[in-house]
Amino acid sequence: MENQFVEIQNISKLYKGSLVPAVNNISLQIKKQSVFGLLGPNGAGKTTLISMLCGLFKPDSGKIFVDGFNTISESKKTKQIIGVVPQEIALYAKLTAWENLMFLGQMYGIESVELKKRINEHLQILGLEENKNQQIRTFSGGMKRRINLIAGLLHHPKLLILDEPTVGIDVQSKTAIINHLKKINKEQGTTIFYTSHHLDEAQDFCTHIAIIDEGKLITEGETNEVIKKNNCKTIEEVYLNITGQKFRD
């Protein structure tokens, strides 16, 4: 219990006007410095769960604790230790990469000299140093994703929440992002909570996996354990066995 960094206790969420809960009595425990992959088809409840984890949505029932802080009653403290990389490219298209990162870093209250140092470090690692003075709208999808990631890392969060961080980008950008995340996880001890539809990527990247469908938790555990207990060879096989072949549009 002491080693658990995130504690999700029986949370449920039913949207107004909907008959089926988006999240239905889910409990999870996420260990410190682990890479936790939340997998599930479209509409499974992943984004709702992330929104509740960030303290943006209030669960109808249940509680979430991040590093011991209740995400609703102690939302300010929770927000100080989490970093969020949304699925959308949440950047200002007409600002340069540098201006975007400076603005978002200042919003986190990082001191200017330190902020510039951190931005330069991340830009260098992710191969964007030469493009830092270009407007975001001129960037390729992969470049935007890398800037989107940096924006969530600037304040050195203890918990990094990533909603499909590698969607729609080339293999080079994907590799750069995953390698950078692995490095941060290892060197800074950052706990990572990650969602993706790239199941091979998730299998390689995540230490722990949970699969949810229709708002319910289907299976969870260490990645290898999950594969083993479901008598499969890959996470993709587990996933298809559990969620079926039916389209979820």
Partner 1 sequence: MALVFIVTLVQDSTFKSVNETSVPLLFVDNDKDSLSFQLENSLTQAHFFTTSKKNISVDEAKQLVATGKFLMAVIVPENISKKLRNKAKAKISKAFNPNDSIINDDSELQLQLFFDPITKQSFKVTISSAIDKIVSGIEMQSLTKELSQQLKQNFPNAKPIAFDSKPLVTTIQQYASTNETSLVPNSVQHNVPAWTMFAMFFICIPLSANIIRERDDGSAFRLLTMSGSYLNVLMGKILIYLLVNLIQFVLMLCVGIYFLPMLGLPQLQIGNNFFTLLVVALSSGLAACGFGLLVGTIAGSVDQAALFGAVSIVILAALGGVWIPTFVMPEFMRKISSISPLNWGLEAFYGVFVRGLSLGGIFIYLLKLKLFFVACVSGAFYYQVYRRMR
Residues in contact with partner 1, counted by CB under 8 A, come to a total of 25
C-alpha distances out from residue 112 to 103, 117, 128, 157, Å: 10, 9, 20, 18
What is the rounded distance in angstroms from the CA atom of residue 94 to the CA atom of residue 83?
23
**Quick one: 128 or 154, whose CB is closer to partner 1?**
154
**DSSP code string of 100-164:** HHHHHHHHTT--HHHHHHHHHHHHHHTT-GGGTTSBGGGS-HHHHHHHHHHHHHTT--SEEEEES
SS3 78: helix
Q: Mask of contacts with partner 1, 16-55, x by CB under 8 A?
A: x----------------------------------x--xx
Answer whether 22's CB lies under 8 Å from 60's CB.
Answer: no
Q: Mask of contacts with partner 1, 140-169, x by CB under 8 A?
A: -----------xx-----------------
Query: What are the residues facing 4 on neighbouring strands?
Result: 31
> Quick one: angle between helices 141-153 and 97-107, nearest 10?
20
Q: Which of 1, 2, 19, 76: binder of partner 1 (CB under 8 A)?
A: 76
Q: Mask of contacts with partner 1, 186-225, x by CB under 8 A?
A: ----------------------------------------
C-alpha distances out from residue 214 to 27, 98, 154, 180, Å: 15, 40, 34, 32
Q: Which of 30, 35, 36, 79: binder of partner 1 (CB under 8 A)?
A: 79
**Quick one: 91 or 211, whose CB is closer to partner 1?**
91
What is the rounded distance in angstroms from the CA atom of residue 53 to the CA atom of residue 207?
19
Q: Please choose, out of 24-32, 102-110, 205-213, 234-242, the segment that lies near partner 1 by the rule CB under 8 A.
A: 102-110
β-sheet with 208-213: strand ranges across? 82-85, 159-163, 191-195, 35-39, 208-213, 216-222
Q: Please choose, out of 75-83, 189-197, 212-220, 221-229, the segment that lies near partner 1 by the rule CB under 8 A.
A: 75-83
Residues 6+ apart with CB under 8 A from 40: 46, 195, 211, 212, 213, 243
Kindly state whether residue 68 participates in binding partner 1, applying the rule CB under 8 A: no
Q: Which of 12, 31, 33, 56: binder of partner 1 (CB under 8 A)?
A: 56
**Contacting partner 1 within 226-245 (CB under 8 A):** none
Kindly state whether residue 62 participates in binding partner 1, applying the rule CB under 8 A: no
Kindly state whether residue 80 participates in binding partner 1, applying the rule CB under 8 A: yes
State CA 1 to chain mean position distance.
22
Q: Which of 1, 19, 88, 249: binder of partner 1 (CB under 8 A)?
A: 88
Residue 41 CB, nearest approach to partner 1 (Å): 21
Q: Please choose, out of 28-36, 86-94, 120-128, 210-218, the segment that lies near partner 1 by the rule CB under 8 A.
A: 86-94
Residues of this chain that bind partner 1 (CB under 8 A):
16, 51, 54-58, 76, 79-80, 82, 84, 86-92, 104, 107-109, 151-152
